Amino acid sequence: MQGHDQARARLDDLSRALLRLHKALLDAERLSYERVHGRIASNGAFLQLVLGDSWFAWLRPLSHSMTRLDELAEEDRTASGAEIAALLASLRSLLTPSETGEGFGRHYYEALQRAPEVGLAHAQVKPLLGSR
């Protein structure tokens, strides 16, 4: 039972750290978007952009992974260790910045370079993901 409780606490810690990272990424992208397109009128308008505008599309894989993590945490005892391990491996891969790549890795690299809050949140998430 204790091992299960520790695993659950680790998933909860990871979920909170990913939320902080996601918020930092959204804040950084909002600033970049507003530099190009002007001020976003409201939080509702921002939400619509996040959900539908191609500018923010690169963040969706992280959003989906966070949703899956929450689902696995809610499934609690029925979630297999293999499912959790696969999701952690997927997150480790996703959250690998790439200076020369494309897609999420490239955007993530750029966000880390321009927003100190993203770097701090990244530093909190990495140890919670474990090693490859």
Q: Domain limits of the chain?
A: 2-129
Q: Count Cα neighbours of 101 within 13 Å in the Cβ-side half-sphere.
A: 14
CA 34 to CA 44: how far, in whole Å? Answer: 15
> Can you give the pLDDT at residue 64?
95
Can you tell me the mean pLDDT for 73-95? Answer: 84
CB 64 within 8 A of CB 22: no
Render pLDDT for 88-118 as a digit per residue (tens, 0 to 9): 999 999 999 999 988 999 999 999 999 999 9
Residue 57 has pLDDT above 90, yes or no: yes
The answer to whether the beta carbons of residues 65 and 91 sit under 8 Å apart is yes
pLDDT at residue 31 is higher than 90: yes
pTM of the predicted model over 0.85: yes
CB 79 within 8 A of CB 72: yes
pLDDT for 3? 57
